Every structure is written in C-alpha cells, then in structure tokens.
Amino acid sequence: MAPGAGELSGSAGFSQLFFIGTVLTTGILGDRFSILRASQSVRFQDAGPLPGGRIPDVVSLSMGFSVDEDLLWPGLARGSLFHRPGANFLVTVRGVEELALPKSEISYIVENPVPFTLDSISNSIHSLFSEETPVVLQLTPSEERLYMVGKANTIFEDLPVTLRQMRNRLFQEDSVLGFLPHSTLNKNNEVDLLFLSELQVLHDISALLYRHKRLAKERSPALYSLELAGLEEIIKRYGQDSQQFRDAVQILASVIQKFADDVFSIYSGNAVIELLTVKNFDAPLVRKSRSILEVPSKNNPIHTYGLAYQYNYNYAVVFNIVLWLMIGLALSVIIVAYNLWNMDPGYDSIIYRMTSQRIKMD
C-alpha cells in the first residue's frame, strides 16, 4: 500500500460522513419549496435556500412575467423567451416542513417563510390578457377565503367552499371517501372533516378542469393558489406522534401527487405545479382572519370589525380617477373665484351694461 493511503482513505471517509450528515440535516430541517411538475420551457436547477419572501417572484418569473427586484437566487434558470407555461399551480400545506412525495423533480429549503399573496401576478395576467378573461383561482378552505376572476366564476361555480358545502359534498356517492385508504381519521370529527374536505376540494378542481379541457389550449395563462391547513389542525388536536397525523400525512402526499399528475396531464405538460410545505409562517404582524373551526363565545364573539377588505386590482384606477377629478374641480373653483374677485362691474358685467344703457335712454 502506498504511503499516505490510509490517511487519504480516512479523509475520504470523513468527507463522505460529512456529506451524508449534511444531506440528512438538510432533509430534516427547514420548510420546503418543491417543484412537482414543470413545463419544458421552465428550468429549475440545484441551488441553495430560497428566501420565503421571494416565492411570488419565482412564480412570476416561471410564468414569464417580470418582477420589481432582480432575483439573485440561482435555482430558476433562464427558460424559453417565446413560450410560457399555460398554468401555474401553487399548493401550500401548513403544519409540516416536508411531505414524502413519490415523485418530485427538485426541492429547496425555504428560509424565513412569511405570508405572501399572488395578487401582483394576478394583476399582471389581467393587465396583459384582460380581453380574454383568464382564469385566476385563490382558495383557502379553512378560512373560507375564495378569490375567482375571469372564467373561473363559471368553471368553479359549483366548487364547495364553506364548511357546510364541503361536508355535504363529502357525503355524496362520488366523494373522495370512496377511494381513500382505510385510516384512523373519522369523518364525524370536525378537525378530520376539515382535512378530508380539503382533499375533496383538490379532487373537484382537477375534475372540473378535466371537464373544461379547452382551457389548456387558450393563450392566456391561468393561476391557481391553494392553501391547506387541515393537517395543521390535526397536529393541534392529536399531536405529531399520533397515528392520525401519520395517516393524514400519507394520504395527503398521495392525493397531492395525484392532483399534480392529473392537472399536468390536462395541460399536456405545459404547466408548473409547486408545493410549499411550511411548519409555521414568521409573521409578527399579519391580518387576523376567522377560522371555520372557531366557535363563537360570549367572551370572544366572532365578528369582522377592524378587518381590512381584500385588495382589488381596480383600486389604483379608481384612486387616480377620484384624485385627478378632485384636483380639476378645485382648480376650476379657484379660477372662477379669482376672475369674479377681479371683475370690473362696469365693464365686464352684462347686467351693469344693460342698466347703464336704459338709464341713458330714460
């Protein structure tokens, strides 16, 4: 054996152990932003952690739109300049850092996850494709928040949104309960019912899209954002070491995987499906919203006082119309008042002219 071979072998073994430890640590710690499916026009590559506040920029750039601030994160490579994805699906799962999915192209650790919205992307879609009524759907079943614009109002008009609608949908013959595996979850429990209802929503969205497959051939891109909190409620109720949580994680992973495969097939591979798993958002200041699991009481009644309304993309247009109209009216009043103040009654006023002529005739 050559001199130093033992040292090299030990050094290589240490490097391998360090690498394995790093991979294991990376897989356990940190929330995840995973790319489940991606169009050929969008290329993702290995990169470091993704800042949580830049997730909307990643979605915007993957759809071919510009962002206000350059994205220095190298995970999103340059794609085709002449072809954009037909749709983008972002599924956010709260309560868990990572889901073990059967198939996933690539995933990234998320640093400092903060609450975000995709309103800027929705505004870009409507400003560029306003005449084509593009599809925009943003849904949070746990808070009964639904935002639909364009053709989504007709396509998803029968989509269950409230807890009562989702409960009724679950007890129909063609619900997800018919093909879900046997588990410890109980459909008569309020917390389990919310989790199963979110699975039903995923199933219904893919079914409605399959029924309207012509949307995949339209020129305007579509945007879908779904936030699921049922797993987070299960952790609060049963704990992370419970059998209910383990069953829920396994079922949710398989349903999300099937959802990604179905919608990717509907759009003929021309779509991007992303999954964000976050334990909890770092949000010291957020707008408080109501949960459908919250029960009103005398000491803490549920009301909407003090809650801001959802931002509308027409706000800037209405604001500019009102602003410049008020400025124009103010300038008109100032000009009229100035002319009246400096008017010569004997020369400028027709009343004094007629009176003066009548006096001369008399």
pLDDT tens per residue across span 187-222: 788 888 889 988 999 999 999 999 888 888 888 889
Q: Which residue has the higher pLDDT, 296 or 34?
A: 34
DSSP assignment of 24-73: HHHHHSSEEEEEEE--TT-EE---SPEEGGGHHHHHHHHTT---SS----
Query: Quick check: 145 and 167 in contact, CB under 8 A?
Result: no
Task: Classify 269 as helix, strand or coil.
Answer: coil
| Cα 327 from Cα 345, distance rounded (Å) | 30
First to last CA, the chain: 138
Higher per-residue confidence, 232 vs 215:
232
Give residue-wise pLDDT tens across range 290-340.
444 444 444 444 344 444 555 555 778 888 999 999 999 999 999 999 988
Whether the CB-CB separation of 267 and 216 falls below 8 Å is answered with: yes
Rounded to whole angstroms, the Cα distance separating 193 from 177 reads 11
The two three-digit tokens of residue 161, written as one number = 């949104």
pLDDT(284) > 60: no
Q: Write out the two tokens for 257.
A: 């995987």
Share of the chain above pLDDT 70, in %: 76
Please tell me the least confidently modeled range out of 31-45, 135-149, 266-280, 343-357: 343-357
Domain boundaries, given as residue ranges, for the chain: 32-278, 314-344
DSSP per-residue string spanning 86-140? SEEEEEEEES-S----S--SEEEEEES------HHHHHHHHHHSGGG---EEEEE
What pLDDT digit, counting tens, does each position of 90-144 carry? 999 998 888 888 666 788 999 988 888 888 888 888 888 877 778 888 888 877 7
Query: Is the pTM of the predicted complex or chain greater than 0.85?
Result: no
